[in-house]
A and B are shown apart, each in its own frame.
Chain A
Amino acid sequence: MTMPAVQGYMYPNERELAWSILIVIYPYITGLVAGAFILASLERVFHVEAVKPTYRLALLTALAFLLVAPLPLQLHLGHPERSIEMYLTPHRTSAMAMFGFVYLWYLMAVLVLEIWLDFRADIVRAALAERGWRRWFYRVLTLGSYNISPRALAIDERAGYIVTVVGIPSALLLHGYVGFIFGSVKANPWWSSPLMPVVFIFSAMVSGIAAVLLIYMFTSWRRRCPIDMRCLDSIARYLLYTFLIDFSLEMLDLVHRIYEADESFRSLDFMLHTKLYLSQVVIQIYIGTLVPLALLALTQIVSLGVRHRKRIYALAASLALVGIFAMRWNVVIGGQLFSKSFLGYTTYKIGFVTREGLLPAIVLMLLPIPILWVLVKLLPPWPADTAAGASAAS
């Protein structure tokens, strides 16, 4: 008996994919959050002064994406009204059920707190200067404290430093946890690997750094402000370093699988050469990894002008984002295309205007952009001198 979209032997419960494109974009979005935060922490904890112009922007980017991160899960699972249950009756033996606490910790104990501490002086000034609803909004955010004396701000700086130090392992936990969810599925040889959380963390850093680099370039262009090339060069250099580590880890995983050649190898190898060839080999490895790596390496080897460097960075960052998305796709979708019998393969047929279709996935991927726009309007992340320059230019 033949079944459409199925080749060879599939167990009945393997024919339809349980995890859809929404589960692809969930780790992609959390990766952007973790990566953006780690870029921000470079300035605060590791004192990389060059990336300072992107520090606040990276924090707001992380928040905008973090607010959207649970939505693909809500849409996938249905019954969003039940999501509160995981807080009310926590299930400590389930990694998935503990997501709520990982998320809440990262959102409230790290990101919101750090943003509040860092923007507090601006919030107080806005609460005193603004009129109408904006005044009330900022007054609520001040929590009734208008103390922005140098001593108070120094305390904020110190507290912010501590929050960031706590935030780095939290960011790694947030995304390492997502990798752990896949890496701990022992029945699936495509996923089951202790390297998975580490690969997820480094790929998260790549995507987050690339996203902040592009957002910084775009916002500078929109505000008609000159791009700080020292900052951009530094971000690009960190992008190259993290990308090299990420690629090395992925290749280590690949070489390990090839050399080990366990009972799943022939099946997975066949899949890599057929169903996943375009998304994994062409898009993820060639276009999404090797090309941006070569482009970024080129800027380190050859002395190029500002204009060329900008274009190369923008292209490399865009390709890196495509490559990391392809990586998420290949992990989530690829891991469900083969049978546990290793004798058959199924096909992922994506809907369009369905609950887990392409349209909601696109909307969810774009949703952080208007959220970031609102956040930037409410809490301008630009240094005062460039903001003044922007208003003078406009």
Chain B
Amino acid sequence: MKPFGEAGHLLRVALVYALGVALFLIVRAILVPHSFGEFGYYRGRAIAQVAALPMHFAGHQACRSCHADVVALKRSGVHAGLHCEACHGPQAAHVANPAAVRPVLPRVATLCIRCHAYNPARPHSFPQIVVKQHDPGGLACNTCHQPHSPLQGFGKKT
């Protein structure tokens, strides 16, 4: 006697599909990390792994302990809201060992225009220049502007 009589082939196809689903569930159990979804739509253990990575940024508080004069000058000008490492790059290694690790000075020719080259998407109130018009001679920005207080000497709020 055939199991399920004349509908036995339907049982076979149902079994194939059930095997497919079971295989999928096994593969899923193997491939999906156990901590996935622990806190949200990501691998929970990723937080501990990222936290264990070495720190590269020291934070602007660290700069003040040695460079209080520069920090004070910056605070008086329009760049007050910028943190030191935004332009000077991550300096955790320098803070840890100031004598051995000397920060490289930023290249002003490329650094300043990252924010101040004209871009129609920026607000009109934001200071922007068309580089070729503003500086046809190719002078470095800090020839005229003090980077830590860019409008110093221009008769405006520094």
* Chain A residues in the interface with B (C-beta under 8 A): 1, 9, 11-12, 84, 87-89, 91, 108, 113, 116, 120, 142-145, 147, 149, 151-152, 155-156, 159
Contact = CB atoms under 8 A, between A and B. Distances in A.
> Interface residues of B: mostly helix, strand, loop or mixed?
helix
Contact of A143 (B9, B32, B36): B9
Q: Interface extent on B, as a size class?
A: 20 to 34
B99 to A, nearest CB: 43
Given A88-B31, A89-B36, A91-B41, A113 B13 contact: yes
Given A88-B31, A143-B16, A145-B12, A12 B6 contact: no
A147 B9 contact: yes
Contacts of A151: 6
A143 B12 contact: yes
B28 interface: yes
B57 interface: no
A9 B7 contact: no
B9 A87 contact: no
Given A1-B120, A108-B17, A143-B16, A155 B32 contact: no
B76 interface: no
A160 to B, nearest CB: 11
A156 B27 CA distance: 32
B12 A144 contact: yes
Given A9-B120, A143-B16, A147-B2, A89 B9 contact: no
Interface in B90-142: 118-121, 130
Nearest to B27: A88
A231 B66 CA distance: 89
Contacts of A12: 119-121
A116 B13 contact: yes
Contacts of A11: 121
Contacts of A159: 10
A20 B7 CA distance: 48
B153 interface: no
19 contacts: A1-B118, A1-B130, A87-B28, A88-B28, A88-B31, A88-B32, A89-B32, A89-B41, A143-B12, A143-B13, A145-B9, A147-B6, A147-B9, A149-B6, A151-B6, A152-B6, A152-B7, A155-B6, A155-B7
Contacts, number: 48
A116 B28 CA distance: 28
A87 B119 contact: no
Interface of B: 2, 6-10, 12-13, 16-17, 20, 24, 27-28, 31-32, 36-37, 41, 118-121, 130
A89 B121 CA distance: 37
Contacts of A1: 118, 120, 130
A309 to B, nearest CB: 41
Contacts of B36: 89
A145 B8 contact: yes
Given A9-B120, A155-B10, A159-B10, 16 more contacts: A1-B130, A11-B121, A87-B24, A89-B36, A113-B13, A142-B9, A143-B9, A143-B16, A144-B12, A145-B12, A147-B8, A147-B9, A152-B6, A152-B7, A155-B6, A156-B9
Contacts of B118: 1
Contacts of A149: 6
A128 to B, nearest CB: 15
B45 to A, nearest CB: 15
A155 B10 CA distance: 9
Contacts of B121: 11-12
A113 B32 CA distance: 29
B111 to A, nearest CB: 20
Nearest to B2: A147
B117 to A, nearest CB: 10
A97 B56 CA distance: 35
A1 B120 CA distance: 8
Contacts of A145: 8-9, 12
A144 B7 CA distance: 13
B30 to A, nearest CB: 10
Contacts of A156: 9
Nearest to A113: B13
B42 to A, nearest CB: 9
